[in-house]
Structure 1
Amino acid sequence: MNSDQAAITEHLFTLRDYIRWTLSEFYRHQVYFGHGHVSAWDEASQLVLNAADLPWDTDPAVLDARLTPAERLKVLDFVRQRAEERKPLPYITGEAWFMGLPFHVDERVLIPRSPIAELIEQGFAPWLRPGPVNRILDLCTGSGCIGIACAFAFQEAEVDLADLSADALVVAQQNIVRHELSDRVRTCQGDLFAAVAGERYDLIVSNPPYVDADDLAGMPAEYAHEPALALGSGPDGLDITRRILREGADYLTEDGLLVVEVGNSEVHLMNSLPELPLTWIELENGGNGVFVITAAELQAHRHLL
């Protein structure tokens, strides 16, 4: 233990002490909150609780309990990674939550935060046609969070998780096993639809790379820990989305639905393809840039793509 660590651990003892100190370190280092929490207090609390192997919803009465010497050092290490290295908290703890489900994450995948969770909870109503959903594709799956959440929402469906990154699919497979879905969910490696050549789906959902060059250059330091392959997609952020739109109809059933998130690149897409009948979703829980389009609409407007 160095002298700085000793000075801290000699004066701080309880969970509450360390949450307060962590909060101060966050402000001192001007960390960015965008990977699970918008509140510095919530993130400081989760960091300290996790270091003590306590769940996020621990009874507040426990906050006055003292940490062991080993736990204090673990908090200090977590804070060093978060505040000095600017590593997002889910990469430090190895876990993120999406649609109320826990997922393993590390720096091979994006940290789950897609507003598509809201649509999954609603069963994609009213845009998805009524009736059984037999096959779902999560394209550019990363950790597998969207596809696995869909498997819980549509309990009879078979779900494919496709990604170019073999490393990302290792993480996705861990999450398939974690949620005991190996009988219905599988990983497929390849460049977009090449990973599932010849297949057809009732529902294709994608959170592809979509950050434009200007936004990518100005992102906070925390995003440098995420895989660059999963963030940027050309000058306007739409290189991959355009490919998905061009090829998507060939992988949807006749009454299938395509759902894509493009975030702030929504404006670029509206301007570049104004005649394409994309339906932009108003999200009640925050977020932007999610559109839906049916297989029939894609087929009828192929000449625009």
Structure 2
Amino acid sequence: MTAAMAMATATARLRAAGVADPARDARLLLAHAASVDASRITLIAPEEIAPEISERYEQLIALRAVRVPVSHLVGERAFYGRGFKVSSDVLDPRPETESLIEAALAEPFERVLDLGTGSGCILVTLLAEQAEARGIGVDLSEGACLQASANAVLHKVADRAEIAQSDWFAAVEGRYDLIVSNPPYLAKSEMADIAPELALHEPEMALTDGADGLSVYRLIAEQAQSYLTADGRVLAEIGWQQGADVKAIFEAAGWADVAILPDLDGRDRVLRAQNPA
């Protein structure tokens, strides 16, 4: 069987399983099975694929058909131009979170705190982009802390990044120029409608607070000022329909210059708030 035929068969199978972009996933997984760059797949399309590659590809497609994320199958997800190692212990880095990175890099900072660091994609990216900065990422999950530490090593920022297990601010000390977070913001009522890739293969504690989706914003609004420098700021990712509610929470807690920033699709995506001290 040629690579083109294998991809066509796989695409049909994934489409029948309800996968959103079956042709893309079929291509990426064949590239992984064949240990070639995805950009070379068109070059090998007319060629017969070796039996061992065909067997690996069949296994990968079978797993993708039951909605295991591609990133978990290949062990990596691209984010802000870098590849991050991922697992079922952490959320996949997502393109919309790059809006938070852009907002963070728009102003200088030397010390950054990442609350609920997960894969470490936010902290590691900020340190990689800001060569003089140092930071700490905290997460309640031990597995997430291990994953974040591995990504810090992978991207050569481990000497400037501390990863610690903590229930939000519980184990945090000191003051920071910037506090960032992508907290669990799905309401409990929304969980029944999420895609199988999320429901079955990503940690529930990173998706929802088990309540109205706003509890972590209340916690950050109440406590973060004690961990910021006088001119420090908070940036937090939000759900696209949460802008007004999150803005109101921070304004009620006395924060200055509270704003909701859009993502590349124009949807509300990032809270920005300044320490009023």
Normalising by structure 2, report the TM-score.
0.91
- Residue type matched to 2:260 in 1? W
- Does structure 2 conserve the Cα–Cα contact (< 8 Å) formed by 1:98 and 1:145? yes
Equivalents in 1 of 2:246, 2:134: separation in Å? 33
User: CA offset at residue 123 of structure 1?
Assistant: 5.0
Equivalents in 2 of 1:208, 1:238: separation in Å? 9
1:290 match: secondary structure: strand
Deviations 1:183-215 (A, max 9, x none): 111201111012313x11111110011111121
| Alignment correspondent of 2:191 | 216
Q: In structure 2, which of residues 30, 33, 41 is the aligned counterpart of residue 51 of structure 1? A: 33
- Does structure 1 conserve the Cα–Cα contact (< 8 Å) formed by 2:79 and 2:94? yes
| Alignment correspondent of 1:14 | 2
Equivalents in 2 of 1:146, 1:110: separation in Å? 12
Equivalents in 1 of 2:156, 2:246: separation in Å? 40
Q: In structure 1, which of residues 273, 286, 291 is the aligned counterpart of residue 271 of structure 2? A: 291
Normalising by structure 1, report the TM-score.
0.83
| Alignment correspondent of 1:28 | 16
- Where structure 2 has 5 or more consecutive residues not aligned to the other structure, the ranges are none
- Residue type matched to 1:118 in 2? S
Q: In structure 2, which of residues 85, 92, 97 is the aligned counterpart of residue 111 of structure 1? A: 92
| Alignment correspondent of 2:101 | 120
User: CA offset at residue 62 of structure 1?
Assistant: 2.2
CA spacing shift, 1:167–1:261, aligned 2, 3 Å:
same
Is structure 2 residue 74 aligned with structure 1 residue 93? yes
| Alignment correspondent of 2:115 | 139
User: CA offset at residue 103 of structure 1?
Assistant: 0.8
Q: In structure 2, which of residues 156, 180, 186 is the aligned counterpart of residue 205 of structure 1? A: 180
1:254 match: secondary structure: strand
CA spacing shift, 1:232–1:173, aligned 2, 3 Å:
same
- Does structure 1 conserve the Cα–Cα contact (< 8 Å) formed by 2:247 and 2:271? no
CA spacing shift, 1:271–1:104, aligned 2, 3 Å:
closer
- Residue type matched to 1:220 in 2? A
Equivalents in 1 of 2:135, 2:232: separation in Å? 14
Q: In structure 2, which of residues 131, 151, 161 is the aligned counterpart of residue 175 of structure 1? A: 151
Deviations 1:48-103 (A, max 9, x none): 111111122226222222211011011110111111x2111111111111101011
| Alignment correspondent of 1:262 | 238
User: CA offset at residue 235 of structure 1?
Assistant: 2.5
- Residue type matched to 1:44 in 2? A
CA spacing shift, 1:44–1:264, aligned 2, 3 Å:
same
- Residue type matched to 2:87 in 1? D
For structure 1, which segment, 269-278 or 40-49, has the greater mean C-alpha deviation from structure 2 after superposition? Answer: 269-278
Equivalents in 1 of 2:74, 2:157: separation in Å? 23
CA RMSD across the alignment: 2.1
Equivalents in 1 of 2:83, 2:241: separation in Å? 28
Is structure 2 residue 220 aligned with structure 1 residue 244? yes
CA spacing shift, 1:274–1:188, aligned 2, 3 Å:
closer
* Structure with greater strand share of residues: 2
Is structure 2 residue 259 aligned with structure 1 residue 279? yes
Is structure 2 residue 37 aligned with structure 1 residue 61? no
For structure 1, which segment, 149-158 or 113-122, has the greater mean C-alpha deviation from structure 2 after superposition? Answer: 113-122
Equivalents in 2 of 1:73, 1:59: separation in Å? 17
Is structure 2 residue 135 aligned with structure 1 residue 159? yes
Is structure 2 residue 22 aligned with structure 1 residue 40? yes
- Does structure 1 conserve the Cα–Cα contact (< 8 Å) formed by 2:105 and 2:126? no
2:234 match: secondary structure: strand
